[in-house]
Amino acid sequence: MATIRIEPTIGDPATGTDKEEYARATNRDIFFGLYDDEVKLLDAVRAANEDHLAIDDVYTPFPVHGLDPLLGLEESRLHVAGFVFGSIGCLFGFGFMTWVFTRDWPIIFGGKPYWSVPAFIPITFELTVLFASVGMVTVFYIINGLGPGAEPRRLHDRITDDKFCIAFDVTESSDSEIDRLRQYFNRTGVETVHRKLVAA
Amino acid sequence: MSGHIAPVRQPLITGHKTYHQITEDICRPTETAPSLSWVVAFIVAVTLLGLFVFSVAWTIWVGIGSWNLNRTINWGWDITNFVWWVGIGHAGTLISAILLLFRQKWRTGVNRAAEAMTIFAVMCAGQFPLIHMGRLWMAFFIFPYPNTRGPLWVNFNSPLLWDVFAISTYFTVSLLFWYAGLVPDLATVRDRAVGLRRKIYSIFSFGWNGSAKHWQRWESLSLILAGLATPLVLSVHTIVSFDFATAVIPGWHTTIFPPYFVAGAIFSGFAMVLTLMLIARKVLHLEDYITIEHIESMNKVILLTGSIVGVAYLTELFIAWYSGYIYEQFAFLNRVLGPYYWSYIGMMLCNVVSPQIFWSKRLRTSLFWTFFMSIFINIGMWFERFVIIATTLARDYLPSSWSYYVPSWVEICIFIGTLGLFSTLFLIFTRVAPVVAIAEIKHILKTAGDQYIGPNALAHAHAGHAHGQTVPAEINDLQAGGTVDIDGENDKPLD
């Protein structure tokens, strides 16, 4: 019986080669501040825009209204997905019933025409809603990278609780740039600041 | 804060909560050992669930003959229970979808539990069409799938098939809507958990991290799903009513059925929400989140829908008389004065007369009366379905085949068993998921929480807005150039 031998990869943390080095090479270095109130957060994001600081992302425990335009986020186009899937469901449902009752196996029910459109409306409607919802929810999870087993970029445990986080990517930043961010955080009333390596 | 403040409303969140306090309060039931009352309730619920399994197994083994249905009355408790449960399953989507579109903030306190209840009620409802087929293993025949019999398709013109599509679509969409709302809250529970619980909640929270773009899409998704679920919820009970309304049976063949069924569904659904929430708020200590204001709002909906139902009952009687059609007239006379007169009286008293007490503010803000009425309405709405189904069938065209129907023990046990199925699922839900939507409650805290309402509101908002607060100690450390971490755990690389 042949023995299988696993070659250690260079820089693999499991093999004990320089863990720190490995981590820095394969991860992003995130410098982030936590605020205790969404009003402070909005002011801070405004200040960052004025100072031309490039925010990597903002994490909040609940949707904060007014944040999207400040971050330059375009309106979500999920409704387009909903419309497309809904249209597919509508056409599929109506088309399928039409095909079954006019082409594949026409049957007369109660002396009505084969192609009895009013009777097809309920199922056509239900399939429209079903396709639109299932399609849109699937798209939502896929574009957000969410799903069972998806690893969150977990910066801090309180972000899903009561802290509002502004994160900067400082992987390639110089010390002076990080100092500038630190001053910015202090100026905008941050509660705490942290630095963390996260998977790229 | 730019959100607008409605001083007319009583606060929807009391107790001067902070965001963290909300998390603590709502996550606590999922993190502590169950109370004795929960354990006792769970044992009772699981026992009833066992009764359900036994009586369904009995039905399958012995056959539908174990029920007391007969040639004349071929729908009895089975379809009565089906319609009753489907009706109950309407409040959740109404609260979460229609009230979202109407921007009713009180929705946030109860939507999670109401939607869970919807899903569980639809699961209970779904049992009845399946088991009343008798040969459960042939149940897949109701779906149009390519088969070796032609393929011979199902009848797309039949309301019974529309029902299959309506109920399964409703269940699927409700589940997706509910779970999409649950994901951020499960992430909150995950981030508080350690060890195995953290791993489990990591799987179920789908890797949610609260990114601004995710929240934006999440809100967009919620809004569009609400827009889709609103006509859906109205269509479902409309289609259920078509099961009767498209039949040529006097007493069933009426155009008033769709709106009347939908109003009745909302009515019974809200009653069940109140029954559950009054218990849940007490047992889970959620009095600060499900306030008298919430209960009063729901009682107002009950009063409205109860009155709509009452008008529908009277309209039916009037139209039956006005039609000049003796069979229709007989059908309704038989409902009121026939052999099942007692169920008609029960229906009228419970659904039409008694909810009128909610015109009184004192009674609609009373927990005792609300709880009492919620039970009463559930009984009344069960009677309504029984009146429509059994009493109409009992007196058909030929007096020689007139009949009377009392359920067998199997039918009674199946119904009681579904109450067990429902309670078991709901009790498990209260232990594993936040019963109140945490993120949504936090979202309305500043506009509907008690500390932000009233004369101090503006002062508070201003204080929150001011700059130059005292600098926390950690930040002073920062100026020396070090990184600060409250708990020291979060700076680990490769987490």
Could you report the per-residue pLDDT of B344-395, keeping only the tens digit for each?
999 999 989 999 999 998 998 888 999 999 999 999 999 999 999 988 888 8
Q: Please give the Cα distance from A127 to B109 (Å, whole number).
A: 31
Q: Would you call B4 an interface residue with chain A, using a CB distance cutoff of 8 Å?
A: no
A145 and B207: CB-CB below 8 Å? yes
DSSP string, B347-405: HIIIIIIGGGGGGSHHHHT-HHHHHHHHHHHHHHHHHHHHIIIIIHHHS-S-GGG----
Cα(A43)–Cα(A70) distance, integer angstroms = 10
Per domain, the residue ranges of chain B are: 19-143+153-452
- Cβ–Cβ contact A162 with B under 8 A: yes
Give yes or no for A46 touching B (CB within 8 A): no
pLDDT over 50 at B48, yes or no: yes
CA distance B230 to chain A (A): 10
Radius of gyration for chain A, computed over Cα atoms and rounded to the nearest angstrom: 27
First to last CA, chain A: 40
Give the model's confidence band at B148: pLDDT under 50 very low, under 70 low, under 90 confident, else very high: confident
Q: Confidence band (pLDDT; 50, 70, 90) for A20?
A: low
* CATH architecture of structural domain B19-143+153-452: Up-down Bundle (1.20)
Residue B301 has pLDDT above 70, yes or no: yes
Nearest C-alpha neighbor of B329 from the set B250, B260, B443:
B250
Nearest CA in chain B to A100: B153
Q: For residue B169, which of B82, B272, B89 has the smallest C-alpha distance? A: B89
Question: SS3 breakdown of chain B: % helix, strand, coil, rounded to 5?
Answer: 70, 0, 30
In this predicted structure, what is the pLDDT of residue B465?
Answer: 38
Interval B240-254 mean pLDDT: 90
- Chain A to chain B Cβ contacts (< 8 Å): 259
Strand ordering across the sheet containing A27-35: A57-59, A164-169, A27-35, A192-199
Region A184-200 average pLDDT: 84
Whether the Cβ atoms of residue B86 and residue B121 lie closer than 8 Å to each other: yes
A59 with B3: Cβ contact below 8 A: no
Phi, psi of B107 (to 5 degrees): -55, -35
According to the model, what pLDDT value does residue B311 have?
93
pLDDT value at residue B290: 87
Give the H or E element holding residue B463.
helix B457-465
Bridge partner list, B209: none
* pLDDT, tens digit, 9 for 90 and up, residues B2-36: 445 555 567 778 877 888 888 888 888 888 888 88
- In angstroms, rounded to a whole number, what is the distance separating the alpha carbons of residues B282 and B358? 22
Asked if B166's CB is within 8 angstroms of A122's CB, the reply is: yes
Q: Is A119 on the interface with B (CB under 8 A)?
A: yes
% chain B with pLDDT above 70: 89
**Structural domains in chain A plus CATH codes:** 28-61+162-199 (3.30.70.260), 78-144 (no CATH)
pLDDT of residue B9: 66
Cβ of B456 under 8 Å from any chain A Cβ? no
CA distances from B82 to B69, B129, B137 (A): 16, 7, 19
List helix spans (H) across A38-112. Answer: 38-50, 67-71, 78-99
Q: What is the pLDDT of residue B12?
A: 79
A73 to B212: CB separation less than 8 angstroms, yes or no: yes
| A26-46 pLDDT tens trace | 778 888 889 888 888 888 898
Name the residue among A137, A69, A45 with its Cα closest to residue B181. Answer: A137
